[in-house]
Structure 1
Amino acid sequence: MIEIEQLKRTVIQCSLPAALEAMGERWSFMILRATFNGLSHFEQFQTTLGIARNILANRLSRLVEHGILERRDCPEDRRKVEYRLTAKGEALLPTLIALRQWGEKWEANVPNNPVLVDARDGKPIADVVVQAHDGRTLGLGDLRWVDRSDLEADQARCIYTGEPVGAK
């Protein structure tokens, strides 16, 4: 069994708290959804989302600070700025889709409209799933956390239970 102090260090070093610090707030996700759908101006966000101007300004600043959005001068009107996704922001697309799909499945009072489709085929996209390196779909029982430094070890162990992981 893993010692409690080692477990505490592992949990503290997890990247989930940092991700939640950057994004873990409803309005940030709503702004992100709007940018994925082509909105880029303060007024567009404010009108479409119905968010208070001070909250919107705060969330946009935070998303820029975390490198998820970038501010650019608007080519048509230098007095305005656009907010555009960075590569880091675009990488959040699967997360946003997975959360939406979860809501569609488990939150009964949420309408399933509009539907996200593949632009080429016009068909709804597949559910976001966790996949192994070889493409197998994995469930909760198939997953274990190991220390990165143990990946090449003869026998890596789960950091929470100490059980061996993988066949070597």
Structure 2
Amino acid sequence: MAARIEDCPLARAVDRIGDWRTLELLHETLNGVHDVRRMRDDLGLTAGALRERLDAAVAAGLLAPHRDGYRPTDLGRSLRPLIAVLAAWGNRDLEPGRRALILVDARTGQEVEPVVVDRRTGRRVDTADHVFRAGPAAGPGLRSRYA
């Protein structure tokens, strides 16, 4: 399915990922689960539903078949920060004792709070100091909205 607004990067990203189950599959493989049977059991999917999701993730270039199951591609691995931020966002309104899954520093075991920063400056991008602007390839629709 084509993005609703062809030149919108948000629409393209959502179209490429497909649905939330694709992020679940990526999360599994990024955490070292590659075996199809274990994925099926962990995610509570039927074999057919898992096959459908795996095929879609492979077609999107996010996963690749491997001798022991499936592995994330470079493109799939690039979504790890998004998965970490989404999980933290999903936990933000829960009391710490009600969080079923948390992101921790592997060395210390301490829960961490992921943030998105500009690679060049190290500054957080979730402030009013950063805004969206139409890029060089923006069509008339995006140009009028982000003039």
Fold match by TM threshold 0.5 = yes
Say if 2:115 is the partner of 1:121.
no
- CA RMSD, 1 decimal: 2.5
**1:59-78 correspondence runs (5 A):** 59-74=53-68
AA partner of residue 94 (structure 1): P
Unpaired stretches in structure 1, ≥5 consecutive residues: 1-10, 75-81, 151-157, 163-168
The answer to whether the Cα contact below 8 Å between 2:133 and 2:146 also exists between their aligned partners in 1 is no
Q: Displacement of 1:12 after TM fit?
A: 3.1
Amino acid corresponding to residue 85 of structure 2 in structure 1? A
Counterpart Cα distance in 2 of 1:73 and 1:138: 40
Q: Relative to total residues, which structure has the larger strand share, 1 or 2?
A: 1
Supply the AA of the counterpart residue of 2:123. R
How many Å separate the matches in 2 of 1:84 and 1:139? 31
CA distance in 2, matches of 1:41, 1:161: 45
- Report how far residue 107 of structure 1 moved: 6.0
| Aligned-residue offset at 1:132 | 7.0
Aligned to 1:83: 70
Size of the alignment, in residue pairs? 137
- Cα offset, 1:137, TM superposition: 1.9
SS in 2 for 1:148: coil
Cα distance in 2 between the residues matched to 1:161 and 1:16: 14
Sort the Cα spacing of 1:107 and 1:20 in 2 relative to 1 into closer, same or farther, 3 A.
Answer: farther
Separation (CA, whole Å) in 2 of partners of 1:29 and 1:39: 14
Aligned partners of 1:144, 1:160: CA distance in 2, in Å? 12
1:93 Cα deviation from its structure 2 partner: 0.4
Show CA shifts across 1:16-53 (max 9, x none): 22211221412112111111221111101111110122
Alignment CA distance shift 1:48-1:61 (3 Å):
same
Using the size of structure 1 for normalisation, the TM-score is 0.70
Q: Percent identity?
A: 27
Matches of 2:32 and 2:146 in 1, distance apart? 45
What residue number does 2:39 align with? 45
Q: Unaligned stretches of 5+ in structure 2?
A: 138-142
Equivalent runs, 1:93-132 vs 2, <5 Å: 93-106=80-93, 111-131=98-118
C-alpha separation in 2, matches of 1:56 and 1:36: 17
Tell me the equivalent position of 1:139.
Answer: 126
Structure showing greater radius of gyration is 1
